[in-house]
């Protein structure tokens, strides 16, 4: 549980702005690492303080000078390396977000570095035409939320051309606005811009290398080159509240609210609605969908309600 003394508003606000001395900041950081109540307050206040504070200085600031030289070296080396080699994965490699904090596995298999290719191959790659786009339409839910009105379709393309760094495209204002709605532990009502999460928890790579979610208003790209279990990525899209998770190579689950859950067993070609017991009486935004295998899965909403299935969604138990 929390330590005896919590940081007062003076210290917490100064920590949020990066105005504390290194020693004081370390104390607040240590406290926040152990106290969930103060982390909640810091996250809530940080949402407000960020409006007035430019991205800067202190938090993790001690790491910066240490890694500045190393980062510059890596950049130079990476630039030199990329001139002679075909790019395989994007620089922005998102980490797993389905929260398997320690999926402990034996030592990873070392993979040999790709062989260098001459520059002429890169030119040929760029000029290669993109593969056709496969459009997967979600069935219209009976009672559309305003946020779902702008979700006509999900496009999965197999083209490997282009990679969109979603967070970079996502403006600061939208990102801040998305904060509140996406935070399960924050007592913040869903904002107009809601974070969506598109994650993949299967063991095998998906059969598409890039996914695009088209809101009908604002198409955002999702980089998904070489998707694997370690490469699941959150996706934040203006106007969408949706979670898509693959239980295995062919099974997908998508949900916005607990009364609007859909599943597909054929890579998203066909979708069928799933009824969660008791969800229609008090529908809430879905916080996460997690399937450990094709049969065992959990759906949680933002109020903390949880539904478990052990038979691939045929029956659900509410906890």
Site for other proteins in 161-190 (CB under 8 A): 165, 167, 170, 175-180, 182-185, 187-190
Q: Which is nearer to other proteins, 178 or 238 (CB)?
A: 178
Q: Which is nearer to other proteins, 51 or 132 (CB)?
A: 51
Q: Pick the stretch among 88-96, 110-118, 238-246, 269-277 that binds other proteins (CB under 8 A).
A: 88-96
Q: Which is nearer to other proteins, 136 or 247 (CB)?
A: 247
- Residue 214 Cβ vs other proteins, minimum distance, rounded to whole Å: 21
- Which residue is listed with tokens 């390396």? 81
Q: Which is nearer to other proteins, 38 or 274 (CB)?
A: 38
Among 104, 111, 120, 314, binds other proteins (CB under 8 A): 104
- Residue 206 Cβ vs other proteins, minimum distance, rounded to whole Å: 20
User: Which residues 8-67 are close enough to bind other proteins by CB under 8 A?
Assistant: 8-21, 24, 26-36, 39-53, 55-60, 63
Q: Which is nearer to other proteins, 9 or 124 (CB)?
A: 9
For other proteins, how many residues bind (rule: CB under 8 A)? 103
User: Which residues 268-297 are close enough to bind other proteins by CB under 8 A?
Assistant: 282, 287, 292, 296
- Residue 267 Cβ vs other proteins, minimum distance, rounded to whole Å: 25
What is the rounded distance in angstroms from the CA atom of residue 105 to the CA atom of residue 126?
A: 37
Among 65, 66, 79, 106, binds other proteins (CB under 8 A): 106
Q: Pick the stretch among 74-82, 143-151, 269-277, 304-312 that binds other proteins (CB under 8 A).
A: 304-312
Cα torsion through 5, 6, 12, 15, rounded to 10: 60
Using an 8 Å Cβ cutoff, are 309 and 276 in contact? no
What is the rounded distance in angstroms from the CA atom of residue 308 to the CA atom of residue 48?
A: 36
| 296-302, Cβ contacts within 8 angstroms, sequence gap of 24 or more | 297/247, 297/253, 299/253, 299/255, 299/258, 299/261, 301/257, 301/258, 302/184, 302/190
Cβ-proximal residues to 88 (8 Å cutoff; 6+ apart), any chain: 114, 225, 226
Buried b (16+ CB within 10 A) or exposed e, 251-285: bbbbbbbbbbbbbbbebbeebeebebeebeeebbb
**109 lines the binding site for other proteins (CB under 8 A):** no
User: Which residues 185-214 are close enough to bind other proteins by CB under 8 A?
Assistant: 185, 187-191, 195, 197
Q: Which is nearer to other proteins, 182 or 242 (CB)?
A: 182
Q: Which two tokens stand for residue 104?
A: 């402990």
Among 202, 221, 223, 234, binds other proteins (CB under 8 A): 234
What element of type H or E holds 16? helix 9-17
Using an 8 Å Cβ cutoff, are 50 and 176 in contact? yes
Chain CA centroid to CA 197, Å: 5
Q: Which is nearer to other proteins, 24 or 122 (CB)?
A: 24
Cβ-proximal residues to 49 (8 Å cutoff; 6+ apart), any chain: 13, 16, 17
Q: Which is nearer to other proteins, 31 or 268 (CB)?
A: 31
- Residue 50 Cβ vs other proteins, minimum distance, rounded to whole Å: 6
């Amino acid at each position: 549980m929390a330590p005896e003394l919590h940081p007062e508003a003076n210290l917490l606000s100064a920590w949020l702005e990066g105005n504390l001395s290194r020693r004081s900041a370390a104390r607040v950081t240590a406290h926040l690492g152990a106290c969930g109540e103060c982390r909640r307050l810091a996250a809530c206040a940080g949402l407000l303080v960020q409006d007035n504070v430019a991205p800067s200085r202190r938090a993790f600031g001690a790491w910066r000078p240490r890694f500045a030289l190393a980062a510059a070296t890596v950049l130079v080396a990476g630039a030199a390396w990329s001139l002679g080699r075909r790019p395989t994965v994007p620089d922005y490699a998102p980490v797993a977000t389905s929260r398997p904090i320690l999926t402990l596995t034996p030592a990873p298999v070392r993979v040999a570095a790709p062989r260098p290719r001459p520059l002429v191959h890169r030119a040929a790659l760029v000029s290669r035409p993109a593969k056709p786009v496969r459009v997967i339409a979600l069935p219209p839910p009976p009672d559309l939320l305003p946020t779902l009105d702008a979700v006509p379709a999900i496009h999965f393309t197999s083209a490997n051309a282009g990679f969109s760094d979603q967070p970079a495209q996502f403006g600061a204002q939208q990102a801040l606005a998305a904060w509140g709605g996406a935070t399960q532990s924050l007592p913040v009502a869903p904002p107009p811009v809601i974070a969506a999460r598109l994650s993949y928890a299967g063991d095998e790579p998906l059969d598409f290398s890039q996914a695009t979610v088209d809101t009908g208003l604002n198409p955002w790209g999702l980089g998904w080159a070489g998707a694997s279990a370690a490469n699941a990525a959150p996706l934040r899209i203006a106007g969408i509240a949706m979670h898509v998770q693959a239980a295995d190579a062919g099974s997908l689950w998508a949900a916005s609210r607990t009364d609007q859950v859909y599943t597909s067993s054929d890579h998203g070609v066909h979708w069928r609605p799933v009824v969660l017991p008791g969800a229609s009486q008090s529908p809430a935004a879905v916080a996460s969908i997690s399937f450990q295998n094709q049969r065992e899965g959990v759906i949680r909403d933002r109020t903390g309600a949880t539904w478990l299935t052990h038979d691939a969604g045929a029956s659900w138990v509410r906890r």
